[in-house]
Amino acid sequence: MPTLTTYQTRIIPDWVDYNGHLRDAFYLLIFSYATDALMDRLGMDSNNREASGNSLFTLELHLNYLHEVKLDAEVEVRTQIIGHDQKRLHLYHSLHLAGGDKELAGNEQMLLHVDLAGPRSAPFTPDTLSRLQAIVAEQADLPAPAYIGRVIALPPAR
C-alpha cells in the first residue's frame, strides 16, 4: 500500500495571503484534519474517544514549506506511519496537488495516546494497536520521507 490519503480539500479564499499563497497556519490546519482522519481510521473517532476516554495529543511537529499552494488548488494529504510504540505514534503527512506526485509541504508529528481522565499517557487499546500495526505492515516497503528528523539551526559560523 502506498501512503494513505487521509484528507482532500480545495484551497479557499479565506486561507490565502496577500501574496496569493496558502497562509502558513492553514497548512497546519489541513494537516490537523488529516490527523483527525487517521484517528478515525484507527478507530479513535469522536464516539470512541467519548466512550473510551482516550485521545491523541500532539507532542511535537515540524512543518516544511516546499512549494507554493495557491487559491482553488485541489490538494490531498498522504500519511505514512514512521513508527510507534505502546503509547506514541510518529507519522509524516505530505501535501500534494490531488493526484500529483510533487510534495508541496511536509509535516512530521509525534503524538501521544492519552487517558483524558488524568490526563496522562496510556497504552493504545488492543484494537487501535492492531489497526496501527496493519497500516505499518501495508506501508513496510515505503522509503523514509526526505523531511523527517530535521533540526532547525543556522550553519556553524566560519
Q: Is the peptide bond before 119 cis (omega within 30 degrees of 0)?
A: yes
Q: Would you kindly state where each structural domain of the chain is located, as residue ranges?
A: 5-124
* pTM reported for the whole predicted model: 0.93
Residue 94: pLDDT band (50, 70, 90) is very high
The CATH number that domain 5-124 falls under is 3.10.129.10
**CA distance linking residue 71 with residue 58, whole number of Å:** 28
pLDDT of 1 strictly over 80: no
Compute, in degrees rounded to 10, the torsion defined by CA atoms 119, 121, 123, 125. 30
Place of cell 490537523: 32
Residue 121's CB is within 10 A of a number of other CB atoms, namely 14
Question: Which pLDDT belongs to residue 61?
Answer: 96
**88-97 and 120-121: which strand pairing?**
unpaired
Asked if 91 contacts 80 with a C-beta cutoff of 8 angstroms, the reply is yes
CA distance 57 to 62: 15
Condensed to tens digits (0 to 9), the pLDDT of residues 75-93 reads 999 999 999 999 999 999 9
